[in-house]
Chain A
Amino acid sequence: MSSGLITKLNPARLFRPTFSHGVHPEENKHFTSGKPIERHAFPPELNLLLSQNAGKPSVPIVHAGQEVVRGEPIARADGFMSVPLHAPATGVIKRIDLVPTAKGPRKPAIILKVYPGESQEILYGAPRDVDSMSPGEIIQAIQDAGLVGLGGAAFPTHVKLSPPPEHKVDTILINGCECEPYLTTDHRIMIEQADDLVRGTQIIMRAMGAERAIIGTEDNKPDAARTLSRALPADGSISVKMVRTKYPQGAEKMLAKALVNREIPSGNYPSSVGMGVFNVATTSQIGALIPWRRGVIERVVTVTGAGIEKRGNFLVPIGTPLRFILERLGYKGSAKYLIMGGPMMGDTVASLDVPITKGCGGIVVFRPEDLQQRNGEGELPCISCGKCVDACPMHLNPCQLGKLARKGRYLEMDEYHLFDCFECGCCHYVCPSGIPLVQYFRISKLMNRELKAAGK
């Protein structure tokens, strides 16, 4: 609270770059921002979803009963829009089975029984000289490492590194904004893994042929900016820039606007305006894994919210079930909502058996009283106040879209750019009538696609 207030009162922030619109939810990062990353214990069993990422699921290359070493590949990429999967612990493959996911449906996963008492110190991999690798070899190595966007979208990193040939990339943006309230994963990574982060940035620059990179962070993390500045290479190719703290500053379109004043055209990738945008957690993993031929086997997760007793930042093996983490950190009795991701865009889960995936940077546990739900009020009619129009970072008209969605006029919503909505939640956040606009838009997108498919 107090740190947030100091940030707000600091006149320097008025001169920091930003984007127009957006909202200022209570940050609540102070609960965990000062806590160093701590290694979390290995659970008895890991549920390794084959589909960790946007794109195609991986294909298992192991069979039940097979012993695997920590870091060994256990599933291969299925084509270009796919990445392999590595064993996060030394143990034995139990079976391949369906497990619950954060989005709801049960999906196939490799169940790995971790050897009890195993020190987990042996790690698969071998050093290599990154500097002698060609851009193509680097991109292949990044796919082999199973890297996807660790900021939440889980889009395969090597695909982002391979823009269409007509797009010339000159600038790399490293996204350390972490605009989601409560989460401090990226914050800790910037402080504790600054060298890996800089190394990763250089590897990305090489792979894309870009001359400069800018690491952007919100001005509520001045300590991260200071630490990073000290780790930068002397040649000046990488710089650190603070942007104003505002949600959703961490969306790539908003960050591009704030840092280099470029607008990514509707429906296009950042490469169309000469940029590549990568999250700090992803970049740091590139710096840590690529020189060692290793794969993603664990990630930093902020476990926070008033419903949890021991809040903090933890290095958690991929596939660890939520139940194992929460039982060790302690729930409070009335905790009712388990959010994977941040409180603005994350999903609540229906089962404690949902495992940590590569895209999950936070677990936020809320009690009903933490939601600011304005009890029993429900959804009131839209009063056309225009607050959502003023909040939408994409400059859409959520008010009009919401009215069309309510009437089921899904196809007309194209006129109002429905598919430019990236579901950041600003409109629902400000709505004084409590209209669940984002949920309307999710449904509308599905219906719109279905109606179009049916019409053809």
Chain B
Amino acid sequence: MPSEPSHIELRTSPHMRDTANVAMIMRNVVYALLPVCAYSVYQFGVSALALLVVCTIVCVGTEQLFCALSGKQSTTGDWSAVITGLLLALTLPPAFPLWMAAVAAFFGLAVGKLFFGGIGYNVMNPALVGRAFAQAAFTVPMTTWTPAMAPGRFTEFIPSTLTRPFMTPAPVNEWLGRVAADGFTGATPLALMKFEQVSTDAVQLLTGSVMGSAGETSALLIFLCGLYLIFRKMMNWRITFSILLSAYLLSGLFYLINPDVYPDPMFTILAGGLMLGAVFMATDMVASPETNRGIWIYGALIGVLTVIIRLFGGLNEGVMYAILLGNAASPLITRISQPRIHGATRKETTAS
């Protein structure tokens, strides 16, 4: 007679599970970010590489430290801190001093995520919290842009990168004089547009041969990386789509009113951080609404806010604040966008 099982155990249904878990999803987001990182290193050289490495190490280290301090099992294995580090580095100017980047990374992860209770409890995207902190604390370095494809970028740091902690960064003028072509203004396409009404060619924006943060310059590459995540069903395409669509429509409206002052809609969605924000930042699952109805509202809100800040605000870039505001609003959006249940009667629909 065959032997009986040594002991049988109880568990609750369902007894089958999908294979995608949190760590796997987060790891795939990292994979999707790697080409963008590689391209930024290709464009900006060792300074961009150093930024990526420092931000990632500080983010993972911060999470490790907080887990140790609070006596919890380490949560760094879920890869989400790595995403925060990479994303933060990609939103910083390539010449940003490393010590400032480290402070921003620490602040973003500690205040933006761990103070709230770690993964799943953060209200806003931690990388953007870090960037917002840097924008407020280190205004000048945050707006100092350096040219892409500088000669010698793989052998030599941009002088400001290696600023000693708590010191003001060295001026980059002398270095710029050596590497930049004549007539270099240090202005991003968005700044050119805002202050001088000079538009930049769409092809240049797509391929990324323009000024900007380390990772926000090639809209096309970012979009392709996003497609990978959508294909793996690890990202909600509705977020990206609704942001781009609403930004396109609103700026298109202004463009129709006065094409001399306002940028054309293609420029709006390709320039600056909108593509990076729409693909990798606003899609932070924790900080976006749960329901698809809510996602449309959330995406439209971010797209509209971005355009309004860019066109009428004091800043030439508004993606970061638009997403942070969208994050803040998303619990409210979730609340008002509950799905209509199967078999709902009229009474129930109005009651909820």
B155 on interface, CB distance cutoff 8 Å = no
Q: Is A350 a contact partner of B10 (Cβ separation < 8 A)?
A: yes
For B5, give its contact among A266, A336, A372, A436 (CB under 8 Å): A336
Chain B residues near A383 (CB-CB < 8 A): 22, 119-120, 285-286
Closest-CB distance, A286 to chain B (whole angstroms): 27
Q: Is A384 a contact partner of B14 (Cβ separation < 8 A)?
A: no
Given A372-B19, A386-B285, A415-B352 in contact, is the A425-B14 Cβ separation under 8 Å? Answer: yes
Chain B residues near A277 (CB-CB < 8 A): none
Bound form: Cα–Cα A110–B22 in Å: 49
Contact with A along B116-147 (1 / 0, CB 8 A): 01111100000000000000000000000000
Given A331-B2, A348-B9, A380-B119 in contact, is the A366-B290 Cβ separation under 8 Å? Answer: no
Q: Is B288 a contact partner of A384 (Cβ separation < 8 A)?
A: yes
For B16, give its contact among A257, A264, A344 (CB under 8 Å): A344
A132 on interface, CB distance cutoff 8 Å = no
B213 on interface, CB distance cutoff 8 Å = no
Q: Is A265 a contact partner of B343 (Cβ separation < 8 A)?
A: yes
Closest-CB distance, B254 to chain A (whole angstroms): 32
Chain A binder among B53-61, B310-318, B333-341: B333-341
Q: Is A344 a contact partner of B21 (Cβ separation < 8 A)?
A: no
By CB atoms of chain A within 10 A, which of B16, B25, B286, B343 has the most? Answer: B16
By CB atoms of chain B within 10 A, which of A19, A393, A399, A417 has the most? Answer: A417
For B120, give its contact among A350, A380, A386 (CB under 8 Å): A380
Bound form: Cα–Cα A393–B295 in Å: 19
A137 on interface, CB distance cutoff 8 Å = no
Bound form: Cα–Cα A26–B334 in Å: 32
For B13, give its contact among A327, A397, A425 (CB under 8 Å): A425
Chain B residues near A309 (CB-CB < 8 A): 2
Chain A residues near B25 (CB-CB < 8 A): 385, 432
Interface residues of B in 7-21 (CB under 8 A from A): 7-21
Bound form: Cα–Cα A345–B15 in Å: 8
B34 on interface, CB distance cutoff 8 Å = no
Contact with B along A306-339 (1 / 0, CB 8 A): 0101000000000000010001001101111111
Select from chain B the residue with minimum beta-carbon distance to A420.
B341
Chain B residues near A25 (CB-CB < 8 A): 16, 18
Closest-CB distance, A445 to chain B (whole angstroms): 14
Q: Is A331 a contact partner of B5 (Cβ separation < 8 A)?
A: yes
Q: Is B291 a contact partner of A386 (Cβ separation < 8 A)?
A: yes
User: In the complex, how many residues of chain B place their beta carbon closer than 8 angstroms to a beta carbon of chain A?
Assistant: 51
Select from chain B the residue with minimum beta-carbon distance to A333.
B3
Interface residues of B in 320-352 (CB under 8 A from A): 334, 338-345, 348, 352
Q: Is B12 a contact partner of A439 (Cβ separation < 8 A)?
A: yes
Bound form: Cα–Cα A26–B15 in Å: 12
Closest-CB distance, B104 to chain A (whole angstroms): 23
B76 on interface, CB distance cutoff 8 Å = no
Chain B residues near A399 (CB-CB < 8 A): 290
A214 on interface, CB distance cutoff 8 Å = no
B199 on interface, CB distance cutoff 8 Å = no
Given A433-B120, A436-B12 in contact, is the A336-B22 Cβ separation under 8 Å? Answer: no
Chain A residues near B341 (CB-CB < 8 A): 266, 394-396, 417, 420
Chain B residues near A373 (CB-CB < 8 A): 17
Closest-CB distance, A329 to chain B (whole angstroms): 9
Closest-CB distance, A369 to chain B (whole angstroms): 13
Select from chain B the residue with minimum beta-carbon distance to A388.
B290
Select from chain A the residue with minimum beta-carbon distance to B335.
A400
B197 on interface, CB distance cutoff 8 Å = no
Q: Is A23 a contact partner of B18 (Cβ separation < 8 A)?
A: yes
Q: Is A395 a contact partner of B16 (Cβ separation < 8 A)?
A: no
For A390, give its contact among B8, B118, B292 (CB under 8 Å): B292
For A389, give its contact among B6, B290, B340 (CB under 8 Å): B290
Bound form: Cα–Cα A344–B17 in Å: 9
Bound form: Cα–Cα A373–B11 in Å: 11
Bound form: Cα–Cα A429–B20 in Å: 10
Chain B residues near A253 (CB-CB < 8 A): 342-343
Given A266-B344, A335-B5, A350-B8 in contact, is the A389-B16 Cβ separation under 8 Å? Answer: no
Bound form: Cα–Cα A442–B288 in Å: 28
Contact with A along B287-301 (1 / 0, CB 8 A): 111111001000000
Bound form: Cα–Cα A334–B5 in Å: 7
Select from chain B the residue with minimum beta-carbon distance to A262.
B343
Q: Is B120 a contact partner of A257 (Cβ separation < 8 A)?
A: no
Select from chain A the residue with minimum beta-carbon distance to B22.
A432
Q: Is B78 a contact partner of A371 (Cβ separation < 8 A)?
A: no
Q: Is B17 a contact partner of A374 (Cβ separation < 8 A)?
A: yes
Q: Is A382 a contact partner of B21 (Cβ separation < 8 A)?
A: no
Chain B residues near A396 (CB-CB < 8 A): 339, 341
B24 on interface, CB distance cutoff 8 Å = yes
Chain B residues near A380 (CB-CB < 8 A): 22, 78, 119-120
A223 on interface, CB distance cutoff 8 Å = no
B64 on interface, CB distance cutoff 8 Å = no
B181 on interface, CB distance cutoff 8 Å = no
Chain B residues near A347 (CB-CB < 8 A): 13
Select from chain A the residue with minimum beta-carbon distance to B294.
A386
Q: Is A26 a contact partner of B16 (Cβ separation < 8 A)?
A: yes
A29 on interface, CB distance cutoff 8 Å = no
Chain A residues near B3 (CB-CB < 8 A): 331, 333
Q: Is B18 a contact partner of A434 (Cβ separation < 8 A)?
A: no
Q: Is A337 a contact partner of B8 (Cβ separation < 8 A)?
A: yes
For B12, give its contact among A384, A432, A438 (CB under 8 Å): A438
Q: Is B10 a contact partner of A348 (Cβ separation < 8 A)?
A: yes
Contact with B along A4-44 (1 / 0, CB 8 A): 00000000000000010001011000000000000000000
Select from chain B the residue with minimum beta-carbon distance to A251.
B342
Chain B residues near A331 (CB-CB < 8 A): 2-5
Select from chain A the residue with minimum beta-carbon distance to B20.
A432
Chain B residues near A425 (CB-CB < 8 A): 13-14
Interface residues of A in 325-370 (CB under 8 A from B): 327, 330-331, 333-339, 343-350, 352, 364, 366
CB-based closest 8 A-B pairs: A381-B120, A425-B14, A385-B285, A386-B290, A343-B15, A439-B12, A266-B343, A344-B14
24 contacts between A and B (CB under 8 A): A25-B16, A266-B345, A266-B348, A323-B4, A339-B15, A344-B16, A348-B8, A348-B9, A371-B11, A372-B17, A373-B17, A381-B120, A386-B292, A389-B291, A395-B341, A400-B290, A415-B352, A417-B341, A429-B14, A429-B17, A432-B20, A433-B120, A436-B12, A438-B14
Kindly list 8 other residue pairs between chains A and B, CB separation below 8 angstroms, not including A381-B121, A432-B18: A263-B343, A266-B344, A333-B6, A348-B10, A380-B119, A417-B348, A423-B13, A429-B14
